[in-house]
Amino acid sequence: MENILDDYAHRNALRDVDTRLKLALGVGAILIGIFSTTPLSPLIIGLSMGVITVAIARIPFRLYIGLLAIPVSFAAMSGIVILFMTGGGDPLWTVTIFGFSFIMTTESLNLAVLVTCRTFGGMSSLFFISLTTPAVELFSVMRDLRLPKEFVDLSMLIYRYIFVLIGEAIAMHNAQVMRNGYSGFRRSIYAFSMLGAMLFIKAWEKGEALLVAMDARCYDGKLEVMEGERHLDPKGVVSVGCYLCFCSAITILCAGKNFF
Amino acid sequence: MHLIETRDLTYVYPGSVTGLEKVNFIAPRNARIAVIGANGAGKSTLFKHFNGILKPTSGSVLIRGEPISKENIREVRKFVGVVFQNADDQIFSPTVEQDVAFGPTNLGLDEETVRHRVEEALRMVGMEDRAGRVPHHLSGGEKKRVAIAGIIAMEPQVLVLDEPTAGLDPQGVADLVGFINSLSRKYGMTVIFSSHDVSLIPEIADYIYVMNKGTIVASGTIDEIFSQAELLTSVRLDVPLLPKLIRSLREHGIDVSMAYTFQEAESAFLKAFKGEP
């Protein structure tokens, strides 16, 4: 089985910390980052979330950098576009390509930095949640938040069957590779389309088997969410509270302040 | 009144493939019943009638003397627990304990009782330390245990296991044998299971049904069935090694008494060769 983010979430050092606390930290940091008008606080959030994820939750550093590189490189690219496409303020630098001149101004530079920092902060907060909180923990929180029961039940079933489907796909892909299914371009297209078609049929069959399995155990529209004994650790609450207050304070005090 | 009884049960699959033909099957109280037969003999089809997943084309299925109807189907499914052959088809919840809790919750039990039953069921199958795990991190044998626990937690009086030993390692098979026997001995449960591992049958069954091509071709005690070598080979099965060996020795003039389980055979051989009583 491939290692996916959820597998790390099951093994991280913060696994036993209350889910609500972790969610509060992650979501709070994302919100502060989004509403911030200075690039300073999202930058601090991004860096500190990275430190928390790697040093405290003990997620492998290389994995983390690799994961973060994807959204951050996107953010950097859009930052470059913003740099030359928006205007205002004093011109800093002009490039001429094919007779078109692109002007970088102080305001466009500030906006580009802000957007990139926000993305960085938001993504590292999101990775903090997804790498420390297994999806199964989210279901009970979803119930607590009074989300519709049907929605929660459906997401529980979908969650389980994602892995069944991945398993089937890997097994089928292996069976195809074993018999040279992907030996050429034409063969690859043929094999891949067959994989897709068979996966559809398999998914359908699994769905019917699921119905039988649920019926056999007297299903009447209720899935159980087992909730263990949960108590918030006061030390955790205080430290998360302090962290969020600190970030908010920077956001408010430095509101509108830019690097350039 | 028998716990489960089928009378001339006939089932025709859509596309007019006959699955079962005039099957008469009886499961009394506190019995250990083996249904043996080659692949495609109709064992799984028969089992799916026991809790109303399939409905007979003709004939009837009686649970405690009553036919299965819309009104009593919940009672029937609480009374007869069926463990499917493929554990992956049965485990659909995100975590092990949630899956085991599924059945009891649907029976309308309160949270305290559900939790208690889940713990008890997981302990019985030796999975109590894996309650919070996600199913895709379990091995095949562990999934099988979870599937069984999910049914046990509903506390059925009849436990139906479809090919329970398929894909288990020797230790897993030994655990399962002990488990089935304890269910029958401690809790007075009736256990019905299918298998084509004939050597295992004498260890866990009192009574055997032999199926072939959708019909029951023979039924009887272990002695009665395993003495009919021709019948067993004609339905693509075989006599277990121990009775086979003893029969051969007897034909060569050695006086060994017939035995089916390892312990019986051991004492029979000791008696024959060392003269011990």
Per-residue pLDDT of B83-126, as tens digits, reads 988 888 888 888 898 889 888 888 888 888 999 999 999 999 98
Nearest to A133 by CA among A52, A51, A41: A52
Total-model pTM? 0.78
User: Which chain A residues are Cβ-neighbours of B115 within 8 angstroms?
Assistant: 226
In tens digits, chain A (260 residues) has pLDDT values of 456 778 888 888 888 888 888 999 999 999 999 888 888 889 999 999 999 999 988 888 998 999 899 999 999 899 888 888 877 777 777 778 887 877 888 888 888 899 999 999 999 999 999 899 888 888 888 888 888 888 888 888 888 888 888 888 988 888 888 888 888 888 889 889 989 999 999 899 888 888 888 888 888 776 766 666 667 788 888 988 999 999 888 888 887 777 77
Contacts of B48 (CB under 8 A, 6+ apart): B54, B82
One-letter amino acid identity for A74? F
Kindly state whether residue A138 falls inside one of the protein's structural domains.
Answer: no
Query: For residues B53 and B73, what is the distance between their CA atoms, to the nearest angstrom?
Result: 10
For chain B, say whether A201 makes contact (Cβ under 8 Å).
Answer: no
- Class assignment of domain B4-237? alpha beta
Say if A141 falls within a structural domain. Answer: no
What is the DSSP pairing of strand B80-83 with strand B158-161? Answer: parallel
Task: Specify whether the CB–CB gap between B111 and B148 falls below 8 A.
Answer: no
What pLDDT, on the 0 to 100 scale, is given for residue A226? 65
**A194 and A239 share a domain?**
no
pLDDT tens, position by position, B117-162? 999 999 999 888 988 888 888 888 899 999 999 999 999 999 999 9
Number of structural domains in chain A: 2
- Residues 54-83 of chain B whose Cβ lies under 8 A from any Cβ of chain A: 74, 77-78, 82
User: Rounded CA gap, B120 and B154, in Å?
Assistant: 11
Both tokens of A13, joined, read: 């050092």
Q: What is the 3-state secondary structure (H, E, C) of chain B?
A: CCCEEEEEEEEEECCCEEEEEEEEEEECCCCEEEEEECCCCCHHHHHHHHCCCCCCCEEEEEECCEECCCCCHHHHHHHEEEECCCHHHHCCCCCHHHHHHHHHHHCCCCHHHHHHHHHHHHHHCCCHHHCCCCHHHCCHHHHHHHHHHHHHCCCCCEEEECCCCCCCCHHHHHHHHHHHHHHHHHHCCEEEEEECCHHHHHHHCCEEEEEECCEEEEEEEHHHHHCCHHHHHHCCCCCCHHHHHHHHHHHCCCCCCCCCCHHHHHHHHHHHHHCCC
Shared domain for A92 and A197, answered yes or no, is no
Do A129 and A171 share a domain, yes or no? Answer: no
Q: How far, in Å, CA of B21 to CA of B8, rounded?
A: 7
Displacement of CA A3 from its chain's centroid (Å): 16
Residue A3 sits in the same domain as residue A103: yes
Contact B203, B195 (CB under 8 A): no
A65 within a domain of the structure (yes/no): yes
Residue B146 confidence (pLDDT): 92
Residue in chain A lying closest to B104 (CA): A217
Same domain, A169 and A69: no
| Interface probe, candidates A136, A154, A226, chain B, greatest B C-beta count within 10 A | A226
**What is the predicted pLDDT for the residue at A14?**
84
Same domain, A203 and A255: no
* A214 CA: distance to closest CA in chain B (Å): 8
Q: Do the interacting molecules here have an ipTM over 0.85?
A: no
Q: Is residue A142 part of a domain?
A: no
Q: Are residues A84 and A122 in the same domain?
A: yes
Is residue A213 included in any domain, yes or no?
Answer: yes
Residues of chain B with pLDDT under 50: none
- Which structural domain, as residue segments, surrounds residue A124? 1-133+231-260
Residues of chain B with CATH 3.40.50.300: 4-237
Task: Confirm whether A205 is domain-assigned.
Answer: yes
Shortest Cα–Cα distance, A4 to chain B (Å): 12
A204 and A253 share one domain: no
B193, B204 Cβ separation under 8 angstroms: yes
Instruction: For residues A168 and B233, give the distance between their C-alpha atoms in angstroms, rounded to a whole number.
Output: 36
- In chain B, residues with a C-beta closer than 8 Å to the C-beta of A226 are 95, 97-98, 101, 115, 118
